[in-house]
Chain A
Amino acid sequence: MELQTKYHGTIEMEESNYIHFSNGIPGFQEEHQFVVLPLEEDETFYIMQSVNTSTLAFVMVNPFTYYPNYDFNLDESIVESLQIKTPEDVLVYSILTIQDPFENTTVNLQAPIIINSKNHMGKQIILNNEKYLTRHKLMEKR
């Protein structure tokens, strides 16, 4: 299927690659389907592109690249709702708030995007851990 995207132009995308967010994400509850695309070949940044709204896309990173000690437990409620069978199936991304200049960019470690790579179900979860905030400087540790 042809997909209009914010950063990749028009692309060809199989529906089987769609990630399903049954309740959307906070602020975008009506957006139930996204695709995750690497921004460029080096896979530093990922784009979470809405299937229905071509102008809606989030820039994400793998948080463990920037914060190797990043650590949290998935609540039973999440494991159940995403039908997660093994930890190996879980993909974790963190949404960036891009700023110009880039050094002011922040990363949301408090509400990671969790995707079950087996069944393509996704959810933005909220960590009840005061260590992690919605706005960490991305460049602080690397």
Chain B
Amino acid sequence: MLVLTRKLGESIKIGDDIEITIFSTKNDQVKIGINAPKSLEIFRKELLIEITDQNKQAANVQGDLLSILKKNEMI
């Protein structure tokens, strides 16, 4: 992994189209601005991990789906 040190307000260019700017730092938090082509999806990594976990859980229905739904209709 390439590691660079940057000061507040300084930027990093990735290729021609992507620019990452350090906006502010506060305690252990860093605010980052990203300029990138709209064709790129950008999201927090932990969100992707959470959605991966949720999908795996969703794929694994515990018990018989139809009987769970039937029970619910009777209430």
* Residues 24-62 (chain B) with a chain A CB within 8 angstroms: 38-44, 47-48, 50-59, 61-62
Q: Give the most central of A81, A95, A97: most B CB within 10 Å.
A: A97
The verdict on A134 contacting chain B, using a C-beta distance below 8 Å, is yes
- Complex Cα gap A76–B38 (Å): 6
- Complex Cα gap A78–B55 (Å): 20
Chain B binder among A11-19, A20-28, A83-91, A114-122: A20-28
Knowing A100-B63, A126-B41, say if A27 contacts B71 (CB, 8 Å).
no
- Complex Cα gap A22–B20 (Å): 28
The verdict on A101 contacting chain B, using a C-beta distance below 8 Å, is yes
The verdict on A140 contacting chain B, using a C-beta distance below 8 Å, is no
Q: Is the CB of A100 within 8 A of B54?
A: no
Q: How many residues of A contact B (CB 8 A)?
A: 35
* Residues 94-113 (chain A) with a chain B CB within 8 angstroms: 95-103, 108, 110-111
- Chain B positions within 8 Å of A, measured between CB atoms, are 38-44, 47-48, 50-59, 61-63, 65-66, 68-69, 71-72
- Chain A positions within 8 Å of B, measured between CB atoms, are 7, 25-28, 39, 45, 56-59, 75-78, 80-81, 95-103, 108, 110-111, 124-126, 128, 134-135
